[in-house]
């Protein structure tokens, strides 16, 4: 159905501010952090956008831009200032991840996973090494990774088989890890391993492994559908040594540390999804205005307008859920449920929006020269990693069903 009246063409020609997305919950984002978000937006759209298409095409690593990310402080976003970081609260952090994802979903997940490990170190590293490790993580050549999944272990981390053998002064790791983001360039790996043999959760410990040793063998996993510029690796650990002081938390805390780190990580992945969705919506809108069929821009058709309207609604609802989770984390309140709500909704919304973006582009959206074709593939992983949608629903439902 065609709707009467022209479709707006000039940006800002009406009262509605389309950049409002960046401003939800705005009163709690400081002026300095707004400037940072805008600087990341300019950098990402100016420098990363073109490269992201190349990384996708060639399946080459976005880590080639790591030096710039360190220079801008983006690899120490959540590290305290006195350890060389930016001490960025979670709310603006989430907006920064969104801006990175708009231009490069691959860079966004790389930063998000590294930040998840920085947070685990901040919260759980032993006093003697915490400051030094945090300082290091914010310094170039110290990319980190989260090594929890294994060939047979994804949704159920309590089932990991990698063993931690007690040796003088530390631990030796034996086993395989799979689906490790930052797995090739990364130096520090937060490895979930089984240090006891009761078969229960208390056998599990989290060890921070320095991968620069011969007992660590790594290989890239190629052939991914999307985020092909993000490194995904598998690793074999054949007696890799971790000094005792690099255990995070106490022996037996491994599963809790994993789940607590993932709570924060899920806010990052939800933000990645919103970045992908926003890029799709912007492309959908501009294409709808320029593409003519039946003698008029396709933006004049209600069918197209509804796809745009539904996408904007999806995006703002996603951002509000992310902001809610980030604010809960910033204020020290429990945020497990809020993080799962954000991850569930934002990741599924990004897939809906990417689907619509391809639909609006028609045949043009189906070829790999078109940005939406890549974004459609990139969006898909967001409902899978750091907990599938089914796991998020499980987490939310059990929070609802808990006894008061
Ligand atoms: N924070 C801290 N502690 C938590 C927690 C949380 N959010 N949730 C549970 N715990 C604690 C519990 O209190 C419990 O502690 P006690 O043993 O002291 O009682 C312990 O952790 C175990 O909790 P549960 O019994 O609830 O654990 P479960 O086995 O039932 O977990 C689950 C259920 C929610 C499904 C959980 O396994 C889960 O989230 N699975 C998804 C895992 C996942 O996201 N995998 C992908 C990760 S890596 C990745 O994607 C790659 C990448 O690099 C991007």
Residues 290 and 177 in one domain: no
For ligand 1, mutation pick of 259, 336, 390 (most atoms within 8 Å of CB)? 259
Residues 105 and 150 in one domain: no
Residue 6 counted as domain residue: no
3-state secondary structure of 293: strand
Residues 247 and 280 in one domain: no
Distance CA 56, CA 152 (A): 27
Provide the domain limits for residue 300: 257-403
Residues 129 and 164 in one domain: no
Q: For the purposes of burial, counting CB atoms within 10 Å of the CB of 56, is it exposed (0-12), middle (13-18) or buried (19 or more)?
A: buried
CB of 150 closer than 6 angstroms to any ligand 1 atom: no
Residues 212 and 262 in one domain: no
Distance (angstroms) between ligand 1 centre and the Cα of 259 equals 4
Residues 172 and 38 in one domain: no
Distance CA 388, CA 382 (A): 8
What is the mean pLDDT, run by run of 10 residues, along the chain of 404 residues?
40 50 68 96 97 97 97 97 97 98 98 98 96 97 98 96 97 98 98 92 97 98 98 98 98 98 98 98 98 98 98 97 97 97 98 98 96 98 98 97 84
> Which residues of 34-168 form beta strands (DSSP E)?
144-147, 163-167
Residues 155 and 233 in one domain: yes
Residues 6+ apart with CB under 8 A from 85: 73, 76, 77, 78, 79, 118, 134, 138
Residue 10 counted as domain residue: no
Instruction: Say how many domains are in the chain.
Output: 3
Work out which ligand 1 atom sits closest to the CA atom of 181. Answer: 53
Domain end marker among 137, 159, 184: 137
- Phi, psi angles (nearest 5°) of residue 297: -60, 140
Distance CA 200, CA 194 (A): 9
CB of 146 closer than 6 angstroms to any ligand 1 atom: yes
Q: What is the pLDDT of residue 20?
A: 55
Residue 101 counted as domain residue: yes
CB of 379 closer than 6 angstroms to any ligand 1 atom: no
Residues 232 and 360 in one domain: no
Residues 228 and 354 in one domain: no
DSSP 241: E
**Residue 69 and residue 116 in contact, taking contact as beta carbons nearer than 8 Å:** no
Distance CA 184, CA 145 (A): 9
Q: What is the pLDDT of residue 403?
A: 80
CB of 384 closer than 6 angstroms to any ligand 1 atom: no
For ligand 1, mutation pick of 153, 255, 398, 401 (most atoms within 8 Å of CB)? 255
What CATH code is carried by the domain that includes residue 223? 2.40.110.10
Q: What is the pLDDT of residue 25?
A: 57
Residues 6+ apart with CB under 8 A from 354: 276, 277, 280, 372, 375, 376, 378, 379
Residues 241 and 313 in one domain: no
What CATH code is carried by the domain that includes residue 30? 1.10.540.10
Q: What is the pLDDT of residue 13?
A: 42
**Residue 178 and residue 132 in contact, taking contact as beta carbons nearer than 8 Å:** no
Residue 321 counted as domain residue: yes
Domain end marker among 191, 220, 255: 255
Residues 71 and 148 in one domain: no
Q: What is the pLDDT of residue 21?
A: 54
CB of 300 closer than 6 angstroms to any ligand 1 atom: no
Distance (angstroms) between ligand 1 centre and the Cα of 258 equals 6
Catalytic residues: 386
What CATH code is carried by the domain that includes residue 337? 1.20.140.10
Pairing assessment for the beta strands 247-248 and 232-243 based on DSSP bridges: unpaired
Residue 1 counted as domain residue: no
Residues 209 and 272 in one domain: no
CB of 113 closer than 6 angstroms to any ligand 1 atom: yes
């Amino acid at each position: 159905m065609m709707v009467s009246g022209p479709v707006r063409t000039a940006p800002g020609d009406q009262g509605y501010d389309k950049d409002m997305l960046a401003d939800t919950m705005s009163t709690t984002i400081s002026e300095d952090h707004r400037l940072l978000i805008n600087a990341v937006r300019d950098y990402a759209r100016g420098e990363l956008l073109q490269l992201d298409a190349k990384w996708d095409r060639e399946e080459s690593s976005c880590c080639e831009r790591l030096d710039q990310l360190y220079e801008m402080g983006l690899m120490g976003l959540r590290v305290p200032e006195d350890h060389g970081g930016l001490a960025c609260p979670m709310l603006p952090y989430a907006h920064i991840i969104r801006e990175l994802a708009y231009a490069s979903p691959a860079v966004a997940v790389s930063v998000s996973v590294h930040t998840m490990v920085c947070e685990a170190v901040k919260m759980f590293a032993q006093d003697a090494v915490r400051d030094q490790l945090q300082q290091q993580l914010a310094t170039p050549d110290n990319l980190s990774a989260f090594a929890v999944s294994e060939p047979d272990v994804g949704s159920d981390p309590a089932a990991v088989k990698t063993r931690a053998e007690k040796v003088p002064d530390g631990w030796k790791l034996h086993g395989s890890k799979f689906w490790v983001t930052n797995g090739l360039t990364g130096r520090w790996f937060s490895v979930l391993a089984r240090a006891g043999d009761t078969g229960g959760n208390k056998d599990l410990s989290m060890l921070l492994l320095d991968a620069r040793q011969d007992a660590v063998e790594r290989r890239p996993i190629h052939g991914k559908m999307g985020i092909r510029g993000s490194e995904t690796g598998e690793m074999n650990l054949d007696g890799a040594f971790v000094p005792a002081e690099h255990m995070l938390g106490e022996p037996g805390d491994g599963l809790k540390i994993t789940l607590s780190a993932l709570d924060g990580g899920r806010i990052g992945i939800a933000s990645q999804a919103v970045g992908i969705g926003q890029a799709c919506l912007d492309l959908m809108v501009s294409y709808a205005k320029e593409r003519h069929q039946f003698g008029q821009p396709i933006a004049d058709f209600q069918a197209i307008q509804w796809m745009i309207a539904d996408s904007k609604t999806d995006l703002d609802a996603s951002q509000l859920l992310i902001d809610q989770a980030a604010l809960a984390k910033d204020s020290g309140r429990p945020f497990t449920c809020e993080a799962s709500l954000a991850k569930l909704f934002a990741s599924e919304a990004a897939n809906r929006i990417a689907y619509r973006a391809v639909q609006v582009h028609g045949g043009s959206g189906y070829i790999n020269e078109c940005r939406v074709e890549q974004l459609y593939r990139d969006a898909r992983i967001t409902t899978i990693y750091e907990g599938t949608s089914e796991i998020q629903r499980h987490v939310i439902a059990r929070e609802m069903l808990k006894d008061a």
